[in-house]
Amino acid sequence: MKEIIEIVSTKTFKSTFFLVALLALILLAFSAGIGVGLHKARYSYRWGENYERNFISQRPPMMPPHGGEGPGDMMGFGGGDGRQMRNANGLAGMVVSVTDNLIVIKDKDNNENMVNVTEKTIIKAGKNDIKIGDLRVDEKLVIIGKPGDDGKVNADLIRVFEK
């Protein structure tokens, strides 16, 4: 036991332990960054994969599955060099259309985003709770939610701002 205490108290052991702990922390931060990047890329890819289904009809998408050359790639909605990354967890923009459980908003980059609204979604205008039917075209919204596998954002909170 005395030998272990002597080894642990040496300057070499402390330096080595500090270095290993620092490397582990750097690796953890790097892994977290990769996880966030994959999350954003997956959402962006799925948005492009479902673009036609979300905005045109319920037909299957014209893009080939799992990447490849297709209309989505040519229009800049699928894959690419990362400049088309979409924010999966939050959106801000103007209302384009509203239906029973779906809102389409146009963001600052003129991208149209589809937002699913459920009975659990909180919609606030100032301090007041409102319903989806109270939303109007051209209102400014901020939406916080989670990305869906269908390329839409599932809204948890919608905040309405004055024009």
Rg (CA), the chain: 23
Instruction: Give pLDDT, residue 54.
Output: 55
Whether residues 97 and 127 fall in one domain? yes
Encoded amino acid at 99, one letter: T
> At which of 62, 86, 110 does a domain end?
86
Answer yes or no: is pLDDT of 92 > 80.
yes
Answer yes or no: is pLDDT of 97 > 90.
yes
Whether residues 68 and 102 fall in one domain? no
**Mean pLDDT value across residues 83-104:** 81
Give 44-58 pLDDT, tens digit per residue: 777 666 655 554 444
Kindly report the CATH number assigned to the domain that includes residue 141. 2.40.50.140
Domain count, the chain: 2
10 Å Cβ neighbour count for 34?
Answer: 10
Q: Round the average pLDDT of the chain to a whole number and report it.
A: 79
Whether residues 56 and 100 fall in one domain? no
Whether residues 98 and 66 fall in one domain? no
Distance, CA of 96 to CA of 12 (rounded, Å):
65
Structure tokens at 60: 């299957």
Residue 141 near residue 159 (C-beta atoms within 8 A): yes
Higher pLDDT, 97 or 70: 97
Give 104-122 pLDDT, tens digit per residue: 999 888 888 899 999 999 9
Q: Read off the pTM.
A: 0.51
**Mean pLDDT value across residues 22-43:** 91
Share of the chain above pLDDT 90, in %: 42
Distance, CA of 154 to CA of 148 (rounded, Å):
6
Answer yes or no: is pLDDT of 130 > 90.
yes
> At which of 47, 71, 86 does a domain end?
86
DSSP string covering 34-86, please?
Answer: HHHHHHHHHHHHHHHHTHHHHHT-SSPPSSPTTS-SSHHHHTT-SSSSSTT--
Give 69-85 pLDDT, tens digit per residue: 444 443 344 444 445 55
> At which of 44, 65, 86 does a domain end?
86
Burial category of 137 from C-beta neighbours within 10 Å (exposed 0-12, middle 13-18, buried 19 and up): exposed
Whether residues 4 and 81 fall in one domain? yes
Instruction: Give pLDDT, residue 103.
Output: 94
Whether residues 150 and 78 fall in one domain? no
Task: Give the domain range for residue 18.
Answer: 1-86
Distance, CA of 99 to CA of 12 (rounded, Å):
67
Instruction: Give pLDDT, residue 150.
Output: 83
**Mean pLDDT value across residues 17-42:** 93
